[in-house]
Homo-oligomer: A and B are copies of this chain.
């Protein structure tokens, strides 16, 4: 097949590298930065650059842009995609993208499936992309009742060929609900954690737990702000959950109640052990 990757950043670059490493598909790239395109060609991550008009030759187009540019690119290029072909996005939220993009593409005879490769780094850009970014990661696919079953199966198969650990299918809304907990909340909590005035005195007093809890505070606020705001109901629910649970620990500690505190900690440990055993 001919596969195009639009946006050769951390995710798009890694998609290109994984496709070239593991498959024999021809890969073409589009990026607003000509230097990045040159670099991707020089490193044989893509077989060549194309213009948006060239997308009509591509069986699959991965859009690896941020949320707003993803929707914009797809709607503006609805006429450029190949009839009978497949377009996938890679944004961290799915309902907002799928509800805006699926129907306009279907009207042009183009399939659209919202995707979310569950991988990332604290760094962005082509320079940080790797051919093994996805090796321990899930590829989340969010089909709807309109999704072409042949394309869905081919995409599932392709994700495994590209080196993803597994694929998971979910409705766009369920994806957004769970991702609010597993990813978005982590970034909010990490960012809130580092704001204590005590952070100034942390040097020499921190070990693995502090590093883990604050690692993803180093996020790109331009990318994350629209992802959070376009999933606000699910994310506000999760923030309220953790605040209400934190208050339980706070009260047990301030009331010097060892029995309640011990029980809260025991329950948390058991839930984490259950999660570890499921992820094994």
Contact = CB atoms under 8 A, between A and B. Distances in A.
Contacts of A220: 269
Contact of A203 (B187, B196, B267, B278): B278
A239 to B, nearest CB: 4
Contacts of A188: 246, 249
A81 B68 CA distance: 69
A234 B172 CA distance: 42
A202 interface: yes
Q: How large is the interface on A (under 10, 10 to 19, 20 to 34, 35 or more residues)?
A: 35 or more
Contacts of A272: 190-191, 194, 214-215, 217-218
Copies of this chain: 2
A119 interface: yes
A192 B247 CA distance: 9
A178 B187 CA distance: 23
Contacts of A236: 250, 253-254
A206 B184 CA distance: 11
A175 B198 CA distance: 11
A127 interface: no
Contacts of A201: 174, 177-178, 181
A39 interface: no
A240 B247 CA distance: 8
Interface string A94-114: 000000000000000000000
Interface stretch (A18-26, A48-56, A149-157, A258-266): A258-266
Q: Is the interface of A mostly helix, strand, loop or mixed?
A: helix
Nearest to A238: B196
A214 B275 contact: yes
Given A246-B192, A264-B191, A271 B241 contact: no
Q: Which 8 A-B pairs have the closest CB atoms?
A: A191-B268, A168-B204, A181-B198, A186-B209, A221-B265, A217-B272, A192-B245, A212-B212
Given A168-B203, A181-B210, 20 more contacts: A119-B207, A120-B208, A170-B205, A174-B201, A181-B199, A185-B193, A186-B193, A187-B209, A191-B265, A193-B242, A194-B272, A212-B216, A213-B216, A217-B269, A219-B268, A225-B265, A226-B258, A236-B253, A239-B246, A243-B250
28 contacts: A118-B204, A120-B209, A138-B204, A138-B205, A138-B206, A140-B205, A175-B205, A182-B205, A187-B209, A189-B193, A191-B269, A192-B242, A194-B271, A194-B272, A194-B275, A195-B241, A203-B279, A213-B213, A217-B272, A221-B266, A221-B269, A225-B258, A229-B261, A232-B253, A232-B256, A235-B253, A242-B246, A243-B247
